[in-house]
Structure 1
């Protein structure tokens, strides 16, 4: 049977396989036997984790180009495997690197690309990608009519489901053309403090916006995130003002999140922001404007000054923890 290529993500620190890859493998099994493409030397733990979620084959490469020139080298590796195996589809996680790799791969293969899928399925005509549109009001189904379908997937919306198999490990060693080295990674910064998970996969997210008024006041976001053992995020405006890092931006051009709890502090709720956080299980909004659009999505809304409400919330959290 023709495989489904899945670009595997791994952490920068210990090279362990990410949750996003397990979610991709869960979807890939609907289309065909998954082939996980691991861009790092395969260790027993990594292969076992990929096999646990259904990867029948683990194609791995240890070439240094994959670390030094991540986007271009991944495109070359995936294109090589796609031409050799004629896959049913290629699935890539919908983050910044994944979006770039998928777009370049589709151009390289002369194939169609569907971005930000929340689900995939197989029908008589081939793979179908499901997208969420207009703040979730519609679900759009798209199929590729030319070449190998390339889908980027919002893995935060997919629950990984195990289906253990014993994978075959295949070591791939290809030559990379000089053009791969045109862009080189010169530094890597950690995604945040060690206690906080990555924004895209965090269970609790506290985000701040223009309503906080200043970078100093944005510290309330970090304090509340710390108290709840969550992760810090920010609106587009907060990012543009330099109150938080670009990697913390929550919107359609930043990070799309799917936490269990989302708290918005001083965020009015633009369309692009709401599109990125609307799938949170519970949404709490604090803003002084009672007509702010964020309240249309909130499960709990507090109309008030964040500079007064948040310190009181922090005090109550500490009081309850002290009495446990």
Structure 2
């Protein structure tokens, strides 16, 4: 049995979530034996392949270096993955925006059912995944001959980024589906850590009142080296851009420390952050659901507390 892990990257760096997916693959190998290979598809991405080759547990890295894969368009990625699929029993990718984009196409072309967002491996054909916004965990067993799986990175510890010595093998297949094209990237630029990789996150909710008040979080974030997030309510109200959204329909995070400021704790938000190691909640409503998952809670007016909080750090 050989497992293919599809690397998440930006053509320059291997994204940390790939190491979490490799751990999921490792758990499958432990239960049934086999090897783990990693596919790096992009343009000018040799450095990414070299980094993947150092990851613990990887036996081989396949490098598809072509302008066709520079933006990992779903139509082109699905052609590549399905071309390689015959050699693998399992195909795994992160349950990120990119992975969620092309993996359903892979499953459809292979005519198999995809298993999405797994958080644990029971055996080579049995996995656990959250349902009902994380309020229940389903154990799913698949009888498909080939398993197509997306992995929730926060459900698995990352394997060591160093210590491996896998061979890097270039593959020549590069086919453009010709039915889509990349037009432009509109990316928010920030000096702060990415939400999905940050060890500390401070998020604001509707209680912030308006977008300008999110500046109250900036000082604390700067001192803690934290990323700044938001609830869907704050995003929908136009306080901040949607790339800051944490929750079921935003980014799933599990930092060492999560500080929720003015967030009531709707079920959709809790689904995206309740796996955080330590949760601190600040809200003036003591009945807010956020306190049910918080390790530390402060019932207070955020506009009075946050300046003092910053001064004490």
- What is the TM-score normalised by the length of structure 1? 0.87
Shift of 1:45: 7.1
Unaligned runs of 5+ in 1: 318-324
Provide the rounded CA distance (Å) in 1 between the counterparts of 2:72 and 2:257: 36
Q: For each residue in 1:275-295, what CA deviation from the matched residue of structure 2 results, as whole angstroms up to 9, or x when unmatched?
A: 111111111111111111101
Alignment of 1:37-48 (within 5 A): 37-40=39-42, 41=44, 43=46, 46-48=49-51
**Structure 2 residue aligned with 1:183:** 181
SS in 1 for 2:218: helix
Equivalent residue, structure 1, for 2:80: 77
2:195 corresponds in structure 1 to 199
**8 Å contact from structure 1 (residues 283, 297) kept in 2:** yes
**1:65 pairs with one of 68, 73, 93:** 68
The alpha-carbon distance between structure 1 residues 266 and 165, as it changes in their structure 2 partners (threshold 3 A), is closer
Deviation at 1:65, TM superposition (A): 1.3
Match of 2:260 among 256, 260, 264: 264
Structure 1 residue 237, shift from structure 2 partner? 1.1
For residue 38 of structure 2, what is the aligned residue in structure 1?
36
CA contact (8 A) 1:112 1:147 kept: no
Task: Describe the SS at the equivalent of 1:34.
Answer: strand
Query: Residues 218 and 121 of structure 1: is their aligned pair in 2 closer, same or farther, counting only changes over 3 Å?
Result: same
String of CA shifts for 1:58-91, please: whole Å, max 9, x gaps.
Answer: 11111111114532222111111103x1x12111
- Distance apart, 1:137 and its partner CA: 5.4
What is the correspondence of 1:104-183 to structure 2 with a 5 Å cutoff?
104-122=105-123, 126-133=124-131, 138-162=136-160, 164-179=163-178, 181-183=179-181
TM-superposed CA distance for 1:247, in Å, is 1.4
2:125 is paired with a residue whose SS is strand
CA distance in 1, matches of 2:72, 2:166: 28
Q: 1:30-83 CA deviation, whole Å, 9 max, x = no partner?
A: 333111000135536742543432211111111111114532222111111103
Q: Which residue of 2 aligns with 1:225?
A: 221
Tell me, in whole angstroms, the C-alpha distance in 1 between the residues paired with 2:47 and 2:223. Answer: 37
Correspondence list, 1:269-288, <5 A: 269-288=265-284
Structure 2: segments with no counterpart, 5+ residues? none
Change (3 A) 1:246 1:309: same
Q: Is the 8 A contact 2:3 2:91 kept in 1?
A: yes
| Greater mean deviation of Cα atoms: 169-178 or 204-213 | 169-178
TM (normalized to structure 2)?
0.90
Choose 246-255 or 24-33, whichever is displaced more: 24-33
- Give 1:161 shift: 2.7
Please report the RMSD computed on the Cα atoms of aligned residues, expressed in angstroms.
2.1
